[in-house]
Chains A and B, each alone.
Chain A
Amino acid sequence: MAGLSTVAVWWDPPADGPTNMAADECLAAEADSTGGLCVRFYGWSQTTISLGGFQGIAEARAVEAIRGLPLVRRPSGGGAIVHGSDLTYAAAVPKSHPWGGTPQVLYDALHGAMVEELAARGVVAWPEEVARVGADFFCFDRRAVGDLVMGAGAAGGAPAKIMGSAQRRLAGVVLQHGSLLLVGNPDLRDDVRHPGIADLPGPRGGIDAEDLSRTWVARIATALGARVSGQAAPFMRGREDRVSELAARFREEWWTARR
């Protein structure tokens, strides 16, 4: 279905963390079998913290600001993300795909297309050029080369990070998770809430997440010289049993607390 000439895209309704992580593993399998770029956009049934694959559970449980919110551990790397007011995506490509080689290639391709799309909407964002090495708990406090930043932070100083992504590189396929922070999450206190696009200097009026996802993925396809194959049905339809089976692992305490 997909192949190099197609970007297959699905839009899924909100689900809980384990279901979303399980669906993303299925997405990786889909990319592996079709040979093309597969993208899934999805929401969260409630504000949820996704931990990076290597983050310690003790560290997570010590963060008072997120206490009581559901946790799910991603298979991908990076820092913790507070989901609920972001545009969340998963993208998967075989390692043999032109964007499946080194980690930075896929990262830059998707983030570059987002820079273009935001610019078309009057939002000036740009890729971070200098990594800030550290072990900050939250993804949006970390800086990796290629992260998207814009405007000025709450203190009027450094630009704020608005988009980050991280990968799980399996034997034959790459799964990339990413988050574009549209607005600060209202379930967090002011002093720990990361600003989203709507909170930073720029055009007013807000961004419709689904509309943005459609125009962004069109730019991704253009950059790849491919066409978008938008799927009318949710990705999970027809895959319910497999997703449910895989989600069981993400619900297990041993998985969440494995670090």
Chain B
Amino acid sequence: MAADLKFAKTHEWVRPETTGVATVGISSYAVEALTDLVFMQLPAVGKRVKAGESLGEIESVKAVSDVYAPISGEIVEVNTALPGKLETLGQDPYGEGWLVRIKPDDPAELDRLLDRADYDKLVGSQPH
């Protein structure tokens, strides 16, 4: 897992890109916890999201889970191949399994997210 990732407590990761946008995905912990993913819905390009708002939904055999926007901004790119290849989320959650790219409204919002060490601590304390 790249060290430059930031994490939301709701298990989304964010990677700031040199182009000024931020790539968003969900953590390997979240993917493993959900198990047997069957459907995913992602937002359309151009949609505006606020940090903490739902930006999409994932269905596993037993559960529908919201994916929350870790930062505010405009969706500028969507991984449209992902809903048809959900196994990618398990195989490469921090690479090919990215969900969307967001043009941040306020890059300082990234500073309010967890770094990897703090996220690992959070995950370690979660009930299983």
Tell me the smallest distance from the CB of B76 to a CB of chain A, in Å: 24
Indicate whether B91 reaches chain A with its CB closer than 8 angstroms: no
CA distance A174 to B63 in the complex (A): 9
- Interface status of B87 (Cβ within 8 A of chain A): no
Produce 1/0 per residue, B23-38, CB < 8 A to A: 0000000000111101
Using a CB–CB distance below 8 Å, which chain A residues touch chain B? 52-54, 75-78, 95-105, 107, 131, 133, 144-146, 165-171, 174
Complex contact B63–A101 (CB within 8 A): no
Cβ-based interface call for B92 (8 A) = no
Q: Quick one: given A53-B57, A131-B36, A171-B10, are A105 and B63 in contact (CB under 8 Å)?
A: no
Number of residues on chain B facing chain A (CB within 8 A): 22
From the candidates B35, B52, B66, name the one contacting A104 in the complex (CB within 8 A). Answer: B35
- Specify which of A76, A101, A131 is in contact with B61 (CB 8 Å cutoff): A131
Name the A residues within 8 Å of B63 (CB-CB).
76-77, 103, 166-169, 174
Which chain A residues lie closer than 8 Å to B66 at the CB level?
169-171
B119 touches A (CB below 8 Å): no
Q: Which residues of A contact B34 (CB under 8 A)?
A: 102-103, 169
Considering the complex of A and B, which 4 residue pairs feature the smallest CB-CB distances, nearest first? A101-B127, A167-B63, A169-B65, A77-B64
**Shortest CB distance B128–A (Å):** 5
Which B residues fall within an 8 A CB radius of A? 10, 33-36, 38-39, 41, 52, 57, 59-66, 68, 126-128
- Measured between beta carbons, the chain A residues less than 8 angstroms from B35 are 102-104
A53 and B64 contacting across the interface, CB-CB below 8 Å = yes
Asked if residues A102 and B33 are in contact (CB atoms below 8 Å), the reply is yes
Q: In the complex, are the beta carbons of A78 and B62 less than 8 A apart?
A: yes
Contact B127 A98 (CB under 8 A): yes
CB atoms of B128 and A54 under 8 A apart:
no
